[in-house]
Amino acid sequence: MKTNRGSALRRLTAGVGFLLPSLLGFLAFTAVPLAASFAIAFTDWDTLRHNMFHHEPLRFVGLDNFIWLFNQPDFWRYLGNTFYLMLGLPFAIVGSLVAALLLTRVGKGQVSRIVAMALATVVLVASGVLLRMAGMREIAVLGIFGALAATTLAAGVLTKGTAYRTLFYLPNFTAGVATFVLWKKLYHPQVGPINLALAPVLDGTTSVIKAAPGLVAWGVPALSGVLAIVVGGWQLRRLRQHWDDCGAGQVAVAMGVATVVLPQAFLLHWLGLSGGVAALVTTVVGAVVTGLILRRPRRWGPKCAIDRGLSAEIALALALMPLLGLLASGIAFGPGLPALAASGIESPDWLGDYDWAKPAIMLMGLWAAIGSNNMILYLAGLNNIPPELYEAADLDGASAVQRFWHVTWPQLVPITFFIGVMGVIGGLQGGFEMARVMTKGGPAGSTTTLSYFIYNEGFETGRLGYASAAAWVLFALVFIISLLNFRFGNRNVND
């Protein structure tokens, strides 16, 4: 008995010994700082007043830090910046999904390895001859890039897409700061490659607008308006049919209506209404339209989950919202194109202009997200779809769109749900590195997010109590949104 007890004690001691480094690390770098931050949030700790040279006692201020935080316009402004940058999340999900779909198609054609190797040999020999004939002049550099592109194409075919997957994922091996510095150079207003490439395009667009200013001023808004009505009407009609057939619950219908009315909020704001009034008007319109749809009796009775069909509406929103947003911009800015062309359409100062700084950061985030871990997750999900499902769809005569919508997408819903949850969490907490390296939060605070705001308050101004309160507000926001995601997403994932 004593031997068994001693053996159990030795096993317990060995187990605790192996776990002790991790436990100590968790206590030292997670648990203790977390508890200290929570306590600091209720004090007036300021490094300018509470330090080794100034012994002013700490005061317990209760909820004053939180009250002062919610009364600060800058807090709500930076929260709005955070949510604005998160609008790029749907584009990132769509981009990574499209990249994964394309990569799964590579290597499934009838191109043999002999043909691919012959193609690569011809391209490389031709590029080498061109390089030798041109010396080291400009055309030689173009030849190098051409050879690199052709070799990449051939390598992708030879390796059945492995080379493409590696190239897509390659930016993730680069340090974030180095990537941000590179993009800062790309966005340079005078010598940046992006503006240099845009210059001839904008010059051609200016010439077209000047040739027919009246047609452009009225044609672009009219065409955009007609297309917006057609797309919005199709979406609302589809929602009504799905509600009648119990294909969409209350939450899914509300999500589908929001897909239509949210771009209209931007349109009203661009037309001169304040952001609050535009949001109020579109909210009222969306509530009325949703109510009119939900009042209709169902053909199959009222027994239908409130979030039924939500995943399909989210997937459709990823495509419809960017399209409707583009059409709304055509309605708002189309009449002003001739006046803009008269003075010349110039390339934007991406990081120095208040209105272009956030879109520039979103564009960079989209580039990074296309080949990110999301693409790897989608590749794994696509490879795990049973081929029998596609064979059954082919026997039923399904088209490529029907195959994706009724076979591929339902199988990818769990992965999309996970990507969405992690993307929302990362979006709420992110933005610090980009703002710190590229814009310092400017211009005029347009790229300052909550995380960068917390850093400034804690380490630039020294108000640790106030910064801790802001950090816990951010934690509460992440927690609540994650709960909502799991509440309305789990059923669709499990189904």
Residue 187 lies in a domain: no
Per-residue pLDDT tens digits for 446-492 = 899 999 999 998 888 888 899 999 999 999 999 998 888 777 666 55
Q: Which residue has the tokens 């797309």?
A: 231
Q: Please say if the pLDDT value at position 158 is more than 70.
A: no
Residue 359 lies in a domain: no
Per-residue pLDDT tens digits for 422-434 = 888 888 888 888 8
Distance CA 367, CA 361 (A): 10
Distance CA 247, CA 68 (A): 46
Distance CA 4, CA 23 (A): 27
Neighbours of 491 (CB within 10 A): 16
CA angle 140, 142, 145 (to 5 degrees): 115
Q: Please say if the pLDDT value at position 54 is more than 80.
A: no
pTM here is 0.77
Q: Answer for the pair 276, 282: CB distance below 8 angstroms, yes or no.
A: no
Distance CA 160, CA 104 (A): 9
Residue 453 lies in a domain: no
Range of the domain at 254: 212-347
What pLDDT does residue 92 have? 86
> Would you state the structure tokens that stand for residue 422, as one six-digit string?
């992690």
Residue 240 lies in a domain: yes
Percent of the chain past pLDDT 90, that is, above it, reads 14
Closest to 216 measured CA to CA, from 339, 348, 345, 344: 339
Distance CA 327, CA 284 (A): 22
What pLDDT does residue 468 have? 93
Per-residue pLDDT tens digits for 280-293 = 899 999 999 988 88
- What is the band of 194 on the pLDDT scale with cuts at 50, 70, 90? confident
The β-bridge partners of 51 are 54
The answer for residues whose C-beta is within 8 angstroms of residue 347's C-beta and 6 or more apart is 189, 194, 195, 198, 199, 202
Residue 161 lies in a domain: no
- Average pLDDT in the chain: 82
Distance CA 21, CA 28 (A): 10
Q: Give the total number of structural domains in the chain.
A: 1
Percent of the chain past pLDDT 70, that is, above it, reads 83
Range of 189-203, 218-232, 305-319, 368-382 with top mean pLDDT: 218-232
Neighbours of 232 (CB within 10 A): 20
Q: Please say if the pLDDT value at position 248 is more than 60.
A: yes
Q: Please say if the pLDDT value at position 131 is more than 70.
A: no
Distance CA 52, CA 73 (A): 33
Residue 172 lies in a domain: no
- For the chain, what is the radius of gyration of the CA atoms? 28
Residue 342 lies in a domain: yes
> Would you state the structure tokens that stand for residue 237, as one six-digit string?
């009609």
What pLDDT does residue 111 have? 47
- What is the band of 494 on the pLDDT scale with cuts at 50, 70, 90? low
φ, ψ of residue 237 to 5 degrees: the values are: -65, -40
Question: Which position has the higher pLDDT, 240 or 1?
Answer: 240
Distance CA 252, CA 308 (A): 7
What pLDDT does residue 145 have? 62
Distance CA 308, CA 326 (A): 29
What pLDDT does residue 154 have? 62
Residue 262 lies in a domain: yes
Across the range 339-365, mean pLDDT stands at: 87
**What percent of the chain is helix, strand and coil (3-state, nearest 5)?**
80, 0, 20
Distance CA 458, CA 47 (A): 9
Q: Answer for the pair 316, 409: CB distance below 8 angstroms, yes or no.
A: no
Q: Please say if the pLDDT value at position 71 is more than 90.
A: yes
- What is the band of 110 on the pLDDT scale with cuts at 50, 70, 90? very low
